[in-house]
């Protein structure tokens, strides 16, 4: 799988067409699954969460663009794993000596395993979006574990992956600043997706680096290590050497 200039041009063309991000009368992601069923994004059988009827056509359009970006960024990550393996500098930075089989399996599972019952909804059913304005872009519903609420702030605060490296380095803005990576991380709050294996065991940058250097068993189980790896690898396709920023 190669991501040539021609391939990226094809992706840009699809994104601007109705095929890539149609507005769904059903507010379902089924049409998106059909549209990307070809190996355009480096995945052969990606699956998607259901969008609840409380997501209007604008919500659905923006979420489906972000879901596409999740595929694109994770495809770059998978391609890097296949090409350079566990000795790659990017792999070592975020996963240390952790098992590459685990990392590959996590990406495969999150993208292509069944998402039956996994639901994204756009109503503030528990009032947490309103209670945390300017902060909550979304939240996992603990009382209904398969559901994720996407707050209005998501659409204002999360940026397209095309803007990576142009709004500050990754360390400054954080990988979840980008909509596609943020939605990828939201899968990992859902029990059927994280399988009680991958979780937010550490979130501070120094902790992530410490995991990679001294506790790689948990580096390959920690959500934020995956998010930084994805952003770091993707940024290297935009700017030589990427735009991670300084690791203190």
pLDDT by residue (tens digit) across 129-141?
999 999 999 999 9
Q: What pLDDT is recorded for position 159?
A: 97
Q: What pLDDT is recorded for position 5?
A: 37
Closest CA to 65 of 45, 44, 36: 36
Whole-angstrom distance between the N-terminal and C-terminal Cα of the chain? 34
Q: What pLDDT is recorded for position 248?
A: 72
Torsion angle, alpha carbons of 127, 56, 18, 68, to 10: 20
Q: What pLDDT is recorded for position 7?
A: 41
Tell me if residue 174 falls in helix, strand or coil. coil
Q: Strand pairing of 147-150 and 119-121? A: parallel
What are the extents of the domains in the chain? 48-115+160-188+197-238
Cα(104)–Cα(245) distance, integer angstroms: 25
Q: What pLDDT is recorded for position 32?
A: 56
- Predicted TM-score of the model (pTM): 0.86
Divide the 248 residues of the chain into consecutive groups of 10 and give the mean pLDDT of each group. 39 35 42 51 90 96 96 96 97 98 98 96 96 95 96 97 95 97 97 96 96 97 98 95 92
Query: In the CATH scheme, what is the code of domain 48-115+160-188+197-238?
Result: 3.40.390
Cα(153)–Cα(53) distance, integer angstroms: 19
Q: What pLDDT is recorded for position 29?
A: 55
Cβ-Cβ contacts under 8 Å for 166 (sequence gap 6 or more) = none
Q: State the DSSP code for 24.
A: P
């Amino acid at each position: 799988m190669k991501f040539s200039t021609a391939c990226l041009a094809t992706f840009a063309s699809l994104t601007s067409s109705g095929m890539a991000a149609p507005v769904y009368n059903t507010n379902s992601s089924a049409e998106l699954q059909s549209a990307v069923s070809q190996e355009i994004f480096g995945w052969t059988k990606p699956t998607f969460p259901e969008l609840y009827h409380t997501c209007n056509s604008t919500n659905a359009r923006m979420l489906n663009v972000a879901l596409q970006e999740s595929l694109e960024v994770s495809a770059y990550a998978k391609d890097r794993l296949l090409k350079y393996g566990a000795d790659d500098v990017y792999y070592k930075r975020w996963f240390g000596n952790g098992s590459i089989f685990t990392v590959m399996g996590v990406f495969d599972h999150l993208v292509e395993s069944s998402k039956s019952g996994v639901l994204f909804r756009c109503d503030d059913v528990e009032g947490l979006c309103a209670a945390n304005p300017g902060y909550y872009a979304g939240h996992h519903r603990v009382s209904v574990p398969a559901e994720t609420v996407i707050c209005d702030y998501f659409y204002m605060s999360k940026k397209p992956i095309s803007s990576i490296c142009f709004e500050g380095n990754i360390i400054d803005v954080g990988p979840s600043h980008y909509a596609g990576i943020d939605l990828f991380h939201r899968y990992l709050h859902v029990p059927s997706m994280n399988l009680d294996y991958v979780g937010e065991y550490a979130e501070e940058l120094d902790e992530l680096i410490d995991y990679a250097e001294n506790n790689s068993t948990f580096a390959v189980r920690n959500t934020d290590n995956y998010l930084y790896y994805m952003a770091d690898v993707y940024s290297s396709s935009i700017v030589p050497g990427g735009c991670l920023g300084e690791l203190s």
